[in-house]
């Protein structure tokens, strides 16, 4: 369904922008996202179990001469293509592009409110501010979010995380790991950083066991017994 939706949007956007000519430099100023609309974003609150809302960065760039002062532009929700409820997201009341730079970042808020299924938020840079929308294929962003349980790609079966740091993956163990470390994504963490988090997790499991409140995994085995990281 997501691919079909993106394809339909893509056809309409490609048709509408086929004859666009926007100058890279000049007195007129345009703003657009740094990635085209097909580069949709996807988030799951499962990886941020401690959070009720997420601040999502969206990178934008300026087309035209650098600005001399902060300048307002407009981003709105495309309501007829959005399945998320208004209570599940938030946009800044006013958005400005900073002066003397070619790229900037704005933040949207995703909220874990009645999130029983995957939903879609579509936002678009529109006219109405002091900066004009840029190329059509760069003015729209599709964001999917949910609370779905999914195995992270950085914890594959037989991989480094399983063999050296955290042991076999289970949903119960992953939830406990995130609860303890407040980290749900180790993609950009190096070896030492991953080891440090694994030790933090292991030491907390040891502490709980010594207090008489051990953690059990989904097969009723002691979770501590399946965490292989060495050290303390």
Residues 141 and 191 in one domain: no
Task: Give residue 186's pLDDT.
Answer: 95
- Residue 180 covered by a domain: yes
Sequence-separated (6 or more) residues with CB below 8 Å from residue 175: 49
Task: Give residue 47's pLDDT.
Answer: 84
Residues 79 and 34 in one domain: yes
Task: Give residue 7's pLDDT.
Answer: 47
Residue where a domain stops, chosen among 113, 146, 179:
146
Residues 133 and 37 in one domain: yes
Residue where a domain stops, chosen among 146, 176, 206:
146
**Sign of torsion, CA 185 167 169 113?**
negative
Q: How many domains does the chain divide into?
A: 2
Task: Give residue 40's pLDDT.
Answer: 86
* pLDDT tens-place values along the chain, 232 residues long: 554 455 454 545 444 444 456 555 556 899 999 999 888 898 989 888 788 999 999 999 999 999 999 999 999 999 999 999 999 999 999 999 999 999 999 999 999 999 989 999 999 999 999 999 999 999 999 999 999 888 888 999 999 999 999 999 999 999 999 999 999 999 999 999 999 999 999 999 999 999 999 999 999 999 999 999 998 7
Beta strands, E only, the chain: 30-33, 41-44, 53-63, 71-77, 89-90, 95-97, 103-111, 119-126, 132-133, 140-146
- Residue 130 covered by a domain: yes
53-63 vs 89-90, strand pairing mode = unpaired
Sequence-separated (6 or more) residues with CB below 8 Å from residue 17: 135, 136, 137
Q: To 10 degrees, what angle do helices 171-181 and 191-210 make?
A: 100
Tell me if the pTM is above 0.85: no
Residues 108 and 43 in one domain: yes
Task: State the burial class of residue 94 (Cβ atoms within 10 Å of its Cβ: 0-12, 13-18, 19+).
Answer: exposed
Task: Give residue 16's pLDDT.
Answer: 46
Residues 49 and 138 in one domain: yes
Residues 131 and 218 in one domain: no
- Residue 25 covered by a domain: no
Give the integer Cα–Cα distance in Å for 186 and 170: 16
Residues 138 and 37 in one domain: yes
Residue where a domain stops, chosen among 119, 146, 173:
146
Residues 71 and 130 in one domain: yes
Q: How far is CA 30 from CA 27, 64, 132, in A?
A: 10, 7, 5
* 99-117 per-position pLDDT tens digit: 999 999 999 999 999 998 9
For 36, the domain range is 30-146
CATH number, residue 126: 2.60.40.1740
**Sign of torsion, CA 123 124 127 133?**
positive
């Amino acid at each position: 369904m997501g691919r079909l939706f993106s394809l339909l949007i893509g056809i309409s956007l490609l048709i509408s922008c086929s004859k666009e000519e926007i100058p890279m430099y000049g007195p007129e100023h345009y703003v657009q996202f740094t990635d085209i609309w097909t580069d949709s974003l996807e988030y799951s609150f499962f990886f941020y179990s401690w959070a009720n809302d997420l601040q999502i960065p969206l990178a934008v760039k300026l087309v035209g001469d650098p600005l001399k002062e902060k300048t307002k532009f407009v981003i709105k929700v495309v309501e007829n293509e959005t399945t998320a409820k208004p209570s599940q997201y938030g946009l800044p009341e006013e958005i400005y592009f900073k002066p003397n730079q070619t790229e900037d970042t704005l933040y949207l808020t995703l909220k874990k409110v009645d999130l029983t299924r995957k939903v879609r938020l579509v936002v678009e840079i529109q006219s109405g501010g002091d900066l004009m929308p840029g190329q059509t294929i760069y003015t729209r962003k599709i964001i999917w979010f949910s609370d779905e349980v999914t195995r992270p790609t950085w914890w594959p079966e037989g991989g480094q995380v399983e063999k050296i740091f955290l042991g076999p993956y289970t949903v119960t163990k992953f939830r406990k790991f995130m609860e303890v470390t407040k980290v749900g994504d180790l993609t950009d963490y190096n070896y030492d950083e991953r080891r440090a988090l694994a030790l933090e997790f292991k030491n907390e499991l040891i502490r709980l066991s010594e207090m008489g409140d051990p953690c059990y995994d989904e097969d009723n085995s002691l979770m501590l017994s399946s965490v292989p990281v060495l050290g303390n």
